[in-house]
Amino acid sequence: MEFYDDKKNELQKKEEIITEAIDTLFQSSAFGNLINGFQNLINSSLKDVQTTIHVRERDTGLYVDITIPATFRDGEIVVDVKSRYLHVTLQEKQKHHYEATFTSMTRTVQLPYEVRQEEMETSWNEQTMTLFFPKNKHE
């Protein structure tokens, strides 16, 4: 048994050395720098365009909080309700000298019950747009 435990410990130490060597190779090499740079680029790009949709049901009705990324605040926000589905589209047009860039993002969420778009009320609080759908009397 002692021989088996010694061999097992020896293999674990070798595995740790190999894992550390591979990590060092990828982290300190040009390839590792490229991967880290790419990951940082993706993370910083996505951080600026992430939007969240939070649905809250209350006795008075349904509240939908939509976080609007800064990159879309000067653009167009389109809200469309079909039965129990809420579609939010954010569109932005940026002009740079002689060219224009169009960016859009669409999110769809299923609501807990059917609402009417014509009864929707909207409000703003810093970077969050809140939609309110009053509860129908017949529910």
How high is the pLDDT of residue 19? 77
Instruction: Kindly state whether residue 111 falls inside one of the protein's structural domains.
Output: yes
For residues 130 and 124, what is the distance between their CA atoms, to the nearest angstrom? 6
pLDDT in tens, 50-97: 778 999 999 999 999 998 877 776 788 889 998 889 999 888 877 778
Task: Judge whether 80 and 66 are in contact, CB under 8 Å.
Answer: no
Q: Are residues 39 and 74 in the same domain?
A: no
Q: Are residues 69 and 33 in the same domain?
A: no
pLDDT in tens, 123-139: 988 889 999 999 875 44
For residues 20 and 31, what is the distance between their CA atoms, to the nearest angstrom? 16
Q: Are residues 39 and 106 in the same domain?
A: no
Question: pTM score, two decimals?
Answer: 0.59
Instruction: Kindly state whether residue 59 falls inside one of the protein's structural domains.
Output: yes
Q: Are residues 24 and 58 in the same domain?
A: no
Instruction: Kindly state whether residue 26 falls inside one of the protein's structural domains.
Output: yes
* SS (HEC) of the chain: CHHHHHHHHHHHHHHHHHHHHHHHHHHHCHHHHHHHHHHHHHHHHHHHHCCCEEEEECCCEEEEEEECCHHHCCCEEEEEEECCEEEEEEEEEEEECCEEEEEEEEEEEECCCCCCHHHCEEEEECCEEEEEEECCCCC
Domain count within the chain:
2
CATH code: domain of residue 128: 2.60.40.790
Q: Are residues 38 and 85 in the same domain?
A: no
The two tokens of residue 1 are 């048994």
Q: Which domain holds residue 63?
A: 51-134
